[in-house]
Chain A
Amino acid sequence: MGKTIAEKILSKKSGQDAYANDLVVATVDFRMGQDGTSPLAIRSFEDMGGERVSNPETSAFVIDHSAPSPLEGVSALHKLMREFARKNKMLLYDVGEGVCHQLMPEKGHVGPGSLVIGADSHTCTYGALNAFATGVGSTDLAAALISGKMWFKVPETIKFICHGRLPFGVYSKDLILYLIGQVTSDGATYKAAEYTGEAIQALSVDARFTISNMAIEMGAKAGLMEADEKVWEWVRRHGNGNFEQVTSDPDARYAQVLEYDVSSLEPQVAKPHRVDNVSPVGEVAGTPIQQAVLGTCTNGRLEDLRIAASILKGRKVHPEVRFIVAPASRRVFLEAMEEGIIQELVRAGAAVVTPGCGPCVGTHNGIPSDGENVISTANRNFKGRMANNKAFIYLASPATVAASALTGVISDPREFLPKEVS
């Protein structure tokens, strides 16, 4: 019987002929933890009797969730991470390097066919590079640092086939929000998702990361894509490209195959307080906003900043809106400066903060006040997510966020974008 991408990668890494629902222990190619989860992993590591990290050159800590530290307590946890990483000769990406899910691919740590665990739920992002990458907890990370291995229940797979081509002003963020709205926030729980079809193939790798990043918002364990020439070009540009891609077999068994025609999709918005509470932007257009956030592991990449700048160039953000921009990494930040994108955003009124996660997870860098509305390019809009349970978070594409920052109300970006170059 044929296999899905998930079944193939987990078979290869466990040495077993594994199919959906089998329990396997597999060798992990890369391990990652961030500053919200690594301190607890260090404690578990010590409690487990761990003496040394088994594969330090393929294990990394990233300080991105509260970076730079806003509090003494956080500083102590960061110090703990730095000391542990140094002692064990692990990789450490410190304050200012960027968001873990941008860094892992950007630094060449993951690629086609990799098996990666990260103590962060959005680890599924690297599925866009054909990696089986999944979020785990701190104790899982500790066990993997000690043994190099991890236990997995091999997931069933839902295949999403996206036909057609996204229209002008509609992006991969709109597509994944739409899909989550369709299948709901637990529509793919315990399962892997495979995203395929000409609409996916037409996307840049940057845009594909946005889709795989949000696989977890439909409950999925992984958000997998095929490795095409674009992926290989991207991987080679960011590392040695020493990977082996995996494709699903034509006779692989899927839990479900869902097909969509995306050619008439409109910009989408996820309304408070659920990621699957999705509607076309027209339904919420005119809602006043007090803060707009551009960045995060979902949409803080060069292409995202470029789209926002194309709307805001030569214009001013609405006087009653705080517009916060967090590039996904130092590299993205530098490239955006070289292109003049950061300058345009700042002239328009943006407050640029250190590459990192702060505003999205409510640790610092823009906690909203009671009753305020925020429009964000992030991936979660749960009540209290940005550290105030009386604020309201709307999720949208960089274009919709930029257009809304400009007008002070949720706005359809299509009337503000420069006309399509054909």
Chain B
Amino acid sequence: MELRGRAHKFGDDVNTDYIISGKYKFKTLDMKELAKHVMEDLDPEFAKRVQPGDFVVAGHNFGCGSSREQAPLALLNAGVSAVLASSFARIFYRNAINTGLAVVECDTSGIESGDELLVDLEKGVLRNLTREKEIAIKPLPSFMLKVLADGGLVAHFRKYGTFNLD
């Protein structure tokens, strides 16, 4: 699974209320509508600026706070293809895998907004094309890679009817 896109850099502890505020998410199941407000409290222009395939890049504890799956879904529907962070909060991490949003744990200190990045999840390689640097990434367990390759847990269940860890 190879992904290529531009980086949008955020700080540490980006919580799910910042990704998509509760005042929007309780009202609708229309993820395109939610995507218009993604990251709004941190960067009101982000939803307009983000391009299909782009990456959100952040520091530690990305996605902390509530269990809302609307957080990865709003990012996906805004066009974001992967989140790269030095660490993730666990429920967001689960939700991202389950919804088919790639999550990459790595040292993000050498990445700036606008950098062009290339990530290969199977090979475990991240390249910063702008700065011509390779960054080591923490490999995903094979079960999670499998769910992600299936396109998320919904597609995984459609395929197997249950959890298939083998």
Q: Which residues of A contact B (CB under 8 A)?
A: 23, 25, 35-37, 39-40, 43-44, 47-50, 65-66, 71, 73-74, 77, 119-121, 123, 135-140, 142-143, 146-147, 149, 151, 153, 185-186, 189-190, 219, 221, 274, 361-363, 367, 380, 382-385, 387, 389
B154 contacts the other chain (Cβ, under 8 Å)? yes
Query: Contacts A47-B154, A363-B23 given: A219-B64 contact, CB under 8 Å?
Result: yes
Is A48 within 8 A of B157, CB to CB? yes
> Shortest beta-carbon distance, A187 to chain B, in Å?
10
Partner of B17, one of A39, A119, A380: A380
Is A362 within 8 A of B27, CB to CB? no
Query: Contacts A49-B158, A66-B26, A137-B95 given: A143-B153 contact, CB under 8 Å?
Result: yes
Is A120 within 8 A of B67, CB to CB? yes
Query: Contacts A136-B94, A140-B98, A362-B23 given: A121-B154 contact, CB under 8 Å?
Result: no
Is B143 within 8 A of A23, CB to CB? yes
B22 contacts the other chain (Cβ, under 8 Å)? yes
Subset of 28 A-B contacts with CB under 8 Å: A23-B141, A23-B143, A36-B68, A40-B29, A47-B154, A48-B157, A50-B157, A120-B66, A121-B65, A121-B66, A135-B67, A136-B91, A137-B98, A138-B69, A139-B95, A139-B98, A143-B153, A147-B162, A149-B162, A185-B64, A186-B60, A189-B61, A189-B90, A219-B64, A219-B90, A382-B17, A384-B23, A385-B22
Size of the B side of the interface (Cβ < 8 Å), in residues, is 43
- Docked complex Cα distance between A32 and B41 (Å): 29
Q: Which residues of A contact B21 (CB under 8 A)?
A: 362, 384, 387, 389
Q: Which residues of B contact A (CB under 8 A)?
A: 13, 15, 17-18, 21-23, 25-29, 41, 60-61, 64-70, 73, 87-91, 94-95, 98-99, 141, 143, 152-154, 157-158, 161-163, 165
Is B22 within 8 A of A363, CB to CB? yes
Is B158 within 8 A of A47, CB to CB? yes
